[in-house]
Chain A
Amino acid sequence: MNELEIIQPGLYTSLQDQGRITGRNWGVPQGGAMDRLSAQRANLLLNNPLDLPVLEITVTGPTLLCHGDGQLSLAGAPISVFQNKKKIENRGLINFQKGDFLKFGNTYKGLRTYLSIRNGFKTKELFGSVSPVTGISASMRLKKGDLLFFESAPLLRSSNARLKKPLLFQDNTIKTNPGPEYDLLSLAQQTILKNIAFNILPSASRMAYPLFPQLEILKHSTSLLTSPVVPGVVQLTPDGQLIVLMRDAQTTGGYPRVLVLSEAGINKLGQMGGGNEVVFL
C-alpha cells in the first residue's frame, strides 16, 4: 500500500464518497460529496467505480507528498496545480511519482474540486460510507500529517480521457420541487419564493446553507412535529429565513419543508458558497 501524505490540508479537505444510505434510523447523517456528480466524474476519468472515495477540496487546495507512483484525476471546480513547484497544465489527469510534491492552489468558477486516484483511496467505512459526519467521526476534515492510502498502479503513458466541458455553473438558478409543507404557504409566499434572488450567508457549511434576506412576508407561526429531512430540503424558520439542508444535514427537523432541491440542484449549490446568489425555479 502507498500513501499520499497531507503536508498542508488547505481550507477544508475531506474524503467523501456518494454518502450513506443506512444509518438514518439511528440518526446518522447521509454525508457524501457536496457535488456528487463531479465526484463521479473524477472517478469516471480513471475508469474507477463511480462511488469510490475522492478528496473534496474546498476553495484552497492541499499540498501532498507522494510516497508512491500513481495517477490522479480532477473534476469539479478548476484548480491550479504545481508539481514540484512547477505549474502544470491540467486537463483532468496527472501522473505522479514517489517523492513528488503536489501543491493545489485556489479553485475558481466553483467552490469544490474532486480528486480521485486510480483504484480509489483505501479507507475505513462507517455505516457504508467513508464520509465523516458529526457524532460518528473523530474529525471532519484532514489535517497535517494524515495519510491517504492507495494501491500502486502502473503509470499510463497517455490517456485520451478528459472532461470535454468543465462543470461550471452558467447561471444561478436552482431547480426545486414543492416540499411537504409547500401547500401551507399562501399564494403570495409561494410566488415570493421563486421570484427573489437569495444570498448565501458566509456561515454556509456542509450541513446547511442559510439564506439572506429574511423576509417579513415569509414569517409564520406554523409549528411542526419533528419529522424526517433529507439533503436538499429547504426549511423556513418562523423568522422568515430559508435554510437549505446539505449533505451532512441532520436526519430529522422541525421547520416547515417548503421546497426540496433536485439532486442536480444540490450539486450546483454545492459549487456555490457564502456571497453567491441563488434563484429557485
Chain B
Amino acid sequence: MGRFNINIQPLGENYLLCSWPAKISVEISEELLAFEQFIFKKFNHFILASNPAYASLAIRFEIKNITFSELKLILLKAYQDFVFNKIESKKYWEIPVCYDSELGPDLLEACDRTSLDLETFIKLHTKPFYRIYFIGFLPGFLYLGGLNEKLFIPRKSTPRLKVPMGAVGIAGSQTGIYPQNSPGGWQLIGQTKVSLFHSNQKVPTPFQAGEHIKFTSISKADFTLASTLPILKTRVIHE
C-alpha cells in the first residue's frame, strides 16, 4: 500500500492526474516514480503514456467505454496493492560546465547578490548531486533539486529574448540547463556543451527522472576546445 494520500482527478478527456501531497520531496518523488513503473507493468496494454512532475503524475489510459470513476477505482486499488520498493541502480551523470562571465553573463552579479566570491560560488554549485525530478516544459529540460540555499537568486525581472542552448542558470531554488536556444528569465552563470536532447534518436535524452547529475567546472580553454567536437560526452560516474 502506498504511503501517502493520493488524489485522482480527470485532466481533460484523455488524462488522469494523480496528485501526491504538494511538496518537493525525495520521498514523494521516489514513490511516484516507482508507482508509475508499477502501473505500467500492471496495465501494460492499457497505458499509452504518462509524465511525472514533482508530486503529480499524468496518465493516459486507453480502454474503450470506461468512465472516469471506474478508472479512478482501478487506480486507487492499484495504489493499495502497490508495495514501495526504491528503484535502485540509478545513474549519476557528470556535466562539465564553464563558469565564465562571458558564457554566464549573470555570474558576477550572482556572486554579488549571494555575497560569495567566484571560487566559493562555483564550489557550492558543483558540490551536490542534483536529483532529476522530471523532464518537462521544453524537450529535454531537466527539473533538478538540491541547489544550495546560499545560491538562491530570483529570476530576472525581464526575461532575455535569446538564451543559448547549454546555458546553465539559477531561478529561485532551481538550477537547470537550457536544452535549446529559447527565451528565458534565469540568471545565467555558465554554459555546457553537453547536448540534452537529440530529436533524431529514438530515445532522445540519456537522462531519466530519478537519476542524478553533478556539475564539474572546466576552463574556458577546455570549453572552447570542446566546441570543435560534436558534443562533449556526459559520463556516468557512479552506477
Interface residues as binary, A130-161 with B (CB distance below 8 Å gives 1, 0 otherwise)? 00011111000000000000000000000000
> Once the chains bind, are B13 and A24 in contact (CB under 8 Å)?
no
Q: Do A228 and B17 have beta carbons less than 8 Å apart?
A: yes
Complex CA distance for A252 and B51, rounded to whole angstroms:
9
Is the Cβ of A232 less than 8 Å from the Cβ of B12? Answer: yes
Task: Establish whether residues A26 and B197, one from each chain, have CB atoms under 8 Å apart when the complex forms.
Answer: yes
B137 touches A177 (CB 8 A): no
Residues from chain B with Cβ under 8 Å of A126 in the complex: 199
Q: How many Å from the CB of B71 to the closest CB on chain A?
A: 15
Interface assignment of B146: CB less than 8 Å from any CB of chain A = no
B199–A250 contact, CB under 8 A?
no
The yes or no answer to B57 lying at the interface (CB within 8 A) is: yes
Q: Are A135 and B180 touching (Cβ within 8 A)?
A: yes
| CB-based contact A263/B13 at 8 Å | yes
The answer to whether B22 and A225 have CB atoms under 8 Å apart is yes
A27-B138, A225-B55, A228-B51 known; A135+B11 contact, CB < 8 A: no
Select from chain B the residue with minimum beta-carbon distance to A260: B12
B60 interface residue (CB < 8 Å to A): yes
Tell me the nearest residue of chain B to A124, going by C-beta. Answer: B200
Bound form: Cα–Cα A257–B22 in Å: 15
Instruction: Report the Cα distance A233→B12, complex, angstroms.
Output: 7
* A residues less than 8 Å from B209 (CB atoms): 25
- Do B58 and A24 touch across chains, with their CB atoms under 8 A apart? yes
* Residue A224 CB within 8 A of the other chain: yes
> CB within 8 A of B11: which of A25, A225, A260?
A260
Q: Which secondary structure dominates chain A's binding surface? A: loop
Report yes or no: A25 in contact with B54, Cβ–Cβ below 8 A.
no
- In the complex, are the beta carbons of B54 and A21 less than 8 A apart? no
Q: How far is the CB of A226 from chain B (nearest CB, A)?
A: 5
Count of A interface residues, CB-CB < 8 Å: 38
Assuming A126-B199, A228-B51, A230-B58, is B134 touching A252 (CB within 8 A)? yes
- B191 interface residue (CB < 8 Å to A): no
By the criterion CB–CB under 8 Å, are B139 and A27 in contact? Answer: yes
Would you list which residues of chain B between 12 and 68 have a CB under 8 Å from chain A?
Answer: 12-15, 17, 19, 22-24, 48-58, 60
Q: A167 CA to B176 CA in the complex, in Å? A: 45
Please encode chain B, from 195 to 219, with 1 for each CB lying within 8 Å of some chain A CB and 0 for all others.
0010100001100010000000000
Docked-complex contact A233 and B199, CB < 8 angstroms: no
Contact of B143 among A26, A177, A226 (CB under 8 A): A226
Q: Which residues of B contact A229 (CB under 8 A)?
A: 11
Q: State whether B54 touches A135 (Cβ < 8 A).
A: no
Known: A224-B22, A227-B53. Is A251-B9 also a contact (CB below 8 A)? no
Is A273's beta carbon under 8 Å from chain B? no
**A188 to nearest B CB, angstroms?**
22
A21 near B49 with CB under 8 A, answer yes
Q: Judge whether B121 is part of the interface by a CB distance below 8 angstroms.
A: no
Q: Is B58 a contact of A134 with CB atoms below 8 Å?
A: no
With A24-B58, A180-B9, A228-B11 known as contacts, the answer to whether A135 contacts B197 (CB < 8 A) is yes
Whether a CB of chain B sits under 8 angstroms from the CB of A8 is no
Question: Quick check: B51 and A24 within 8 Å, CB to CB?
Answer: yes
- B139 (CB) vs chain A CBs: closest residue: A135
**Contact of A28 with B by CB under 8 A:** yes
CB closest residue in chain A, given B58: A228
Contact A21 B48 (CB under 8 A): yes
The verdict on A26 contacting B11 (CB below 8 Å), with A226-B54, A252-B51 known, is no
Nearest Cβ in chain A — how far from B7, in angstroms?
9
Contacts of A263 in B (CB 8 A): 12-13
A241 at the interface (CB under 8 A from B): no
* Assembled-state Cα–Cα distance A26/B139 (Å): 6
Say whether A2 faces chain B, with CB atoms less than 8 Å apart.
Answer: no
User: Do the beta carbons of B53 and A230 come within 8 Å of each other?
Assistant: no
Q: Give the residue among B11, B54, B140 with the most A Cβ atoms within 10 A.
A: B11
Verify B137–A252 contact, CB threshold 8 A: yes
In the assembled complex, B179 has its CB within 8 A of some CB on chain A: yes
Given contact pairs A251-B136, A257-B11, a sample of 12 additional A-B residue pairs in the complex whose CB atoms are under 8 Å apart: A23-B139, A24-B51, A25-B135, A26-B135, A27-B138, A27-B139, A126-B199, A133-B139, A180-B19, A228-B58, A230-B15, A230-B58
Interchain Cβ contacts under 8 Å between A and B, 12 examples = A21-B48, A21-B60, A24-B51, A25-B209, A27-B141, A126-B199, A135-B140, A136-B204, A179-B11, A228-B57, A232-B13, A233-B12
